[in-house]
Structure 1
Amino acid sequence: MRARHTSHALPAFPVYSSSFLSENELVLGGGGGTSRSGIKNKLRLYNVDSERSLQLLDEFELEKGEDAPMSMAAHIETSTIICGVNSALEKLEKDQNENCRIFAVKDQKLELLSTQGTLPPGDMEDYQKVAVFSPDGSLLAVAGGHDLSLFSFPSQSPLAEPIHTEKEIYDASLSGTTLVIATTHHLLVYALPTSAEAQTPSPMSKGKGKEKKATLSNQSRASKLELLHTVEVPASAGGTNGGTFRAARYNPKDDHVFYTSINIPPSRNRKTKAVPRQAFICKWNTKTWTVDKTRNFSDRGLTCFDVSADGKYLGFGSSDMTIGLLDGHNLSPLVTILKAHDFPPTTIAFNAPSSLLVSGSPDNSIRIVSVPQSPANSSSWTIILLLITTLLVILLAVLAQNYLAGSIH
């Protein structure tokens, strides 16, 4: 399947995170990080039209010394962006890392609403690498390397005690009833609270234009989540060869379907032929937490992954600079764009109607892809054409038979 796509250079703006707020509103996070390269760390708001053109609407420059936005999630109903930004070194040294930032987009402008610290003190190398919303937008999960916090939204009230994991966290996903944390070697499946905490006034409704600092004062009243399942890397995707989880997502339209990406390091056994690094996508049945389908789709590690809002497509980026689309039902490849970037892509995201896919890279570029016609629609047209062809063949056969019968008489 062919797809139209356009590359856009963003001079002096390495891209590390992205989210769509609507069909056309795209927010990018990037910059030079904590290095002294002179490249400033920013959030940028763009308009992306159906023909993949790009228009800068606004940008928000972070304070000097703060890190680049390394994770991002969009709350479409409130036009709100959650992103992870480590504070400047002076605050880190005082254990005052306000890593969780909430921005609103109003009248095509980015506005900082609140900051909050969710990472445990003492580790200056830790950063917020995960930010995800529940399907209805009422829950928010954010995580660093080994600790995840769960909040109600928009009140930002803690709903559970922070979860600490032995293995490194790479991703998380929420359904209506469960939270799944993807660590390097396990999927940890937790039951969500049966009744959501009553919503308190949102920081967005207080003091227009003024930053608010949220606190964890309600943390002592939060309960501990129940661990339901611990799922290991499946053997079909390198569970016995050092495979590790790198991304995890529920299907937005069916929480009985779950997707994971798994990277396997290259084989170093001297007695056998060397096996290159591989990447797998797995489709899971969450009723039994067993794998329904597995596909080996790359000889390099996967670097970013997303599922479209309609659940039909899986978008991925690979360390060989490739990006692509898979069918969400059978995992078959639909689109592959080679050398989409000069450096491995760090983020990939679908817009709300699943008509556009955007990838970003530290090479100071993004690539916008027009998602092709739905495979389901293509299959329907194929079936219709086959039926029409069959009917024509039958009609011709009947006419020929009648003609022959008439000739004999």
Structure 2
Amino acid sequence: MRAQHTPHFLTAFPVYSSAFLSPTHLVLGGGGGASRTGIKNKLRVYDVSEDRSITLVDELELERGEDAPMSMATHLEAGTLACGVNSAEEKLSKGENENCRVYAFKEQKLGLLQTYGTLVSGDLDDFQKVTVLSPDGKLLVAAGTTSLQLLFFPSLAPAALALKTDKEIYDVSFSKNTLVVATTDNLLVYALPAAASKDSPSKNKKKGKQKAAAVPELELLRTVDAPAAVSGSTGSTFRAARYHPGNSDILYTISNTVPARSRTKKAAPRQAFVCKWNTTTWAAEKVRKIGDKGLTCFAVSPNGNLLAFGSSDYSVGLLDANTLAPLLTILKAHEFPPTTLTFNPTSRLLVSGSADNSIRVVSVPDSVGKSSWAWIIIILITLLIALLAFAVQQYA
């Protein structure tokens, strides 16, 4: 199946994160990072039309020495944006990293609302690689390489004690009652604290020890390993985990295999898999191989019908969320591997971004994402009519 898609080249603006603030307003995060490349770190808001054209609406340049926004999430109703931006090096050296930031988009302008420091590792190279909002917009997860903080949104007051993981964190996803953390080795399923369902408190209500004592711990419910069909004898790493937006009994993950090293044999190619999990039994109900290159980014459409992936072979693809069947692939979507993928709220547009200073806007075909059973029924009816016609001819 073919889809119409349009590339847009952005001068000196490597793209690392993206999200829609409305059906037409797209925010991009990128830049040259904390190194002295001369490429400035910015947040940009574009208006994206149905014909896939884009118009710059606002540009917010970050302070000199700060890092590029590497992850973000948006609250559509409030018109707010949460993202991760490391402070300048002189602040990092003092332990003053206000990495978690909230911006409001009002009157076509981005403005800073809140900041909070969540990275406690002391590693100057650590950064907020995961930023995820709960479906109701009341909770926010800001995760570094091996640390995670659950916060109330938009106040950024802690909703649970900071969490430390043994393995690297790649993604986080909310259901109504649980939080799934995807690490390289496994999925960690936590129960959300009962207090997290209440309204966000002010950060100034409690201080010091009294405040810390009132914040609960996240309770680990279970640890889920990769299915044998994925890991095999080579092992694998989780790269993303996302709940179905309309059904918390379904979770999707993507995994890349880790080929075993051998001095005598040629290493097996790295393979990529997508899995559909039943979160009642935590069994992988469907597993599909996507290709022989690792996947770099992943997204689920807001209507729950489509899965999008970006691959290290520079391609972008769409899968049927029910069957995991491939629907379309855009080869050579970028010059570098895609770094970010996001659907607009109507699921009619998909945007991919890359560090090659480009984004690609894809119009999702109307036929893509519709019920697979409908097509199966149509095919069966067509075959039945053909058989009946043939039988009539034989006995005429």
> TM bucket by the smaller chain?
over 0.9
Q: Would you say how many aligned residue pairs link Structure 1 and Structure 2?
A: 393
**1:152–1:197: 8 Å Cα contact kept in structure 2?**
no
Q: Is the partner of 1:376 in helix, strand or coil?
A: coil
Q: Is the partner of 1:237 in helix, strand or coil?
A: helix
- The CA distance in 2 between the partners of 1:118 and 1:65, in whole Å, is 19
- Cα distance, 1:221 vs. partner? 1.3
- Cα distance, 1:319 vs. partner? 0.9
**2:114–2:156: 8 Å Cα contact kept in structure 1?**
no
- Cα distance, 1:201 vs. partner? 6.8
Letter in 2 for 1:107: E
Per-residue CA deviation, residues 346-393 of structure 1 (Å, 9 max, x unaligned), is: 111111111111010110000011112234257536635764785697
Q: Is the partner of 1:91 in helix, strand or coil?
A: helix
1:364 aligns with 357
Of 146-155 and 31-40, more deviation after overlay is shown by 146-155
2:311 aligns with 318
1:71 aligns with 71
- The CA distance in 2 between the partners of 1:351 and 1:118, in whole Å, is 29
- Give 2:368's match in structure 1, choosing from 371, 374, 386: 374
- Cα distance, 1:290 vs. partner? 1.2
Question: In the TM superposition, what are the counterparts of 1:149-298 in structure 2 within 5 Å?
Answer: 149-196=149-196, 198-200=198-200, 218-238=211-231, 240-270=233-263, 272=265, 274-298=267-291
Q: Is the partner of 2:334 in helix, strand or coil?
A: coil
**2:168–2:183: 8 Å Cα contact kept in structure 1?**
yes
2:377 aligns with 383
- Cα distance, 1:318 vs. partner? 0.8
**2:353–2:359: 8 Å Cα contact kept in structure 1?**
yes
Letter in 1 for 2:124: M
- Cα distance, 1:395 vs. partner? 8.5
- The CA distance in 1 between the partners of 2:208 and 2:179, in whole Å, is 21
**2:235–2:259: 8 Å Cα contact kept in structure 1?**
no
**2:308–2:319: 8 Å Cα contact kept in structure 1?**
yes
Per-residue CA deviation, residues 72-115 of structure 1 (Å, 9 max, x unaligned), is: 01111101110000000010010000000101111211111111
Pair 378,156 (structure 1): closer, same or farther in 2 beyond 3 Å: same
Q: Is the partner of 1:314 in helix, strand or coil?
A: strand
RMSD: 2.5
1:300 aligns with 293
2:18 aligns with 18
1:407 aligns with none
**1:127–1:144: 8 Å Cα contact kept in structure 2?**
yes
1:99 aligns with 99
TM-score normalised over the length of structure 1: 0.90
**1:154–1:202: 8 Å Cα contact kept in structure 2?**
no
**2:115–2:156: 8 Å Cα contact kept in structure 1?**
no
Pair 290,399 (structure 1): closer, same or farther in 2 beyond 3 Å: closer
1:34 aligns with 34
Percent sequence identity is: 58
Q: Is the partner of 1:236 in helix, strand or coil?
A: helix
Per-residue CA deviation, residues 198-233 of structure 1 (Å, 9 max, x unaligned), is: 425779xxxxxxxx9x99983431111111101112
- The CA distance in 1 between the partners of 2:120 and 2:351, in whole Å, is 33
2:141 aligns with 141
Of 384-393 and 107-116, more deviation after overlay is shown by 384-393
- The CA distance in 1 between the partners of 2:34 and 2:324, in whole Å, is 38
Per-residue CA deviation, residues 31-87 of structure 1 (Å, 9 max, x unaligned), is: 010121111000000011111001100010000000000000111110111000000
Unaligned runs of 5+ in 2: none
Letter in 2 for 1:85: V
Say which one has the larger Rg.
Answer: 1
Q: Is the partner of 1:77 in helix, strand or coil?
A: coil
Letter in 1 for 2:250: V
- The CA distance in 2 between the partners of 1:394 and 1:280, in whole Å, is 42
- The CA distance in 1 between the partners of 2:218 and 2:157, in whole Å, is 15
Q: Is the partner of 1:196 in helix, strand or coil?
A: helix
